[in-house]
Amino acid sequence: MRELRSLKLYGKQDIRFEEAEKAVITDTDDVIIKVKAVGICGSDISRYSKLGPYVEGMIFGHEFSGEVVEVGNNVTTVKPGDRVAACPSFYCGECESCKKGELARCEKLTVIGARHPGAYAEFVKLPEENVLPLPDEVDFDSAALVEPSAVVVHGFYRTTIRPGAEVAVMGCGNIGLLAVQWAKIFGAKKVYAIDIDPAKLSVAQELGADVLINPLDKPAHEQILEHTNGTGVDLAVESAGSPITSAQIFSLPKKGGEVVFMGIPYADINIERFFFEKIVRNELNVYGSWNAISSPFPGREWSTTIHYMATGQLKIKPIISHRLPLSAGPETFDRIINRKESYRKVLFYPEQG
């Protein structure tokens, strides 16, 4: 029998393509899934380059889809052969937030790939409640992005967006490209995509953005004001995760408008007076959004994502830029953090090695 392949994190910028033990059933609600496609998340890049919560030598990764190969004795919702996506998050169920049903605020919230074996492997194990059957219309590549899409939906649910709203999306990486589409699904009549990369803006346009804004041409807020008769947008989405955009975002909404933060800058943010005063003088509503789960677990974010993938209103293929064998993992992570190539969403295929 050949060795099972995986990517394991050993330390800062130290990820290795190594043999892994196959997951085995230990609890009656366990589900073992053969991983068909697994993506690189922005948080994976941060953990790889700077380290966050992790266990040395742990199998990395958490955005994936696959096929059920084995289930525990009490599992009833899926069976071997079923095509599935999965929520990679674990909540404690005992803290104050969990008891109130606010699972994304769990004091001990964690995901596979940190303290539990992750999905950069041929097989991964999760409890039954984390596993989501896929309709025939959703392929494995698309389903590997159910988790990041659920993150975006979770953020939109935090806001009061209504049909007819105008929405600005700051940053057109993977989360931003999903946010452009979700803004439309939530009823936005006009979506402004903002990025300094023309290639990313082009994809945003393909996915439904109505107006493309490059801040290198003119400050984003000045362009937004020109397009909105000097008022601003109803909702501004920060999805770049940059210290610079995390300050600039406050200049985009209209008076009484909203800002939701989906990006994580992983750095200190210095806010110029011009931007900070917008919060106060325009009486903005500012929301943080974390993870993608709600009650009942894993939450409507997941079923809603799968529904709109199935209808074709949520398009994933244009977001995927690289499809690679798992063995390309170490080199790919290095190339991403050292900006040796332009990447959007990278998918690995464990079956290909």
Task: For residue range 179-204, list pLDDT tens digits in order.
Answer: 999 999 999 999 999 999 999 999 99
DSSP 3-state assignment of 301? helix
Determine the pLDDT at residue 24. Answer: 95
Query: Is pLDDT above 90 for 54?
Result: no
Q: Are 60 and 15 in contact (CB under 8 A)?
A: yes
The rounded Cα 218 to chain-centroid distance in angstroms is 29
Determine the pLDDT at residue 352. Answer: 84
Q: Are 317 and 141 in contact (CB under 8 A)?
A: yes
Calculate mean pLDDT across residues 139-149.
98
Element (H, E) at 321: strand 320-325
Q: Are 216 and 196 in contact (CB under 8 A)?
A: yes
Query: Is pLDDT above 60 for 237?
Result: yes
Query: Is pLDDT above 50 for 47?
Result: yes
Tokens of 331: 């080199």
In this structure, is residue 302 part of a structural domain?
A: no
Q: Same structural domain for residues 126 and 25?
A: yes
Q: Same structural domain for residues 131 and 161?
A: no
Share of the chain above pLDDT 70, in %: 98
The per-residue pLDDT of the chain, averaged, comes to 96
* CATH of residue 61: 3.90.180.10
E-only strand ranges, 211-283: 211-213, 233-238, 253-261
In this structure, is residue 225 part of a structural domain?
A: yes
Q: Are 184 and 156 in contact (CB under 8 A)?
A: no
* CATH of residue 156: 3.40.50.720
**Dist CA 199 CA 203 (whole Å):** 7
**Dist CA 337 CA 100 (whole Å):** 39
Calculate mean pLDDT across residues 207-216.
98
**Dist CA 21 CA 58 (whole Å):** 12
Determine the pLDDT at residue 1. Answer: 46
Q: Same structural domain for residues 222 and 271?
A: yes
In this structure, is residue 298 part of a structural domain?
A: no
**Dist CA 5 CA 327 (whole Å):** 8
Calculate mean pLDDT across residues 217-233.
98
Number of domains in the chain: 2
Which domain, by its residues, includes 344?
A: 4-145+316-352
Q: Same structural domain for residues 125 and 158?
A: no
Query: Is pLDDT above 90 for 51?
Result: no
Sequence-separated (6 or more) residues with CB below 8 Å from residue 329? 7, 15, 17, 120, 348
pLDDT digits (tens, 9 = 90+) for 256-296: 999 999 988 888 999 999 999 999 999 999 999 999 999 99
Determine the pLDDT at residue 263. Answer: 87
Q: Same structural domain for residues 12 and 86?
A: yes
Q: Same structural domain for residues 75 and 132?
A: yes
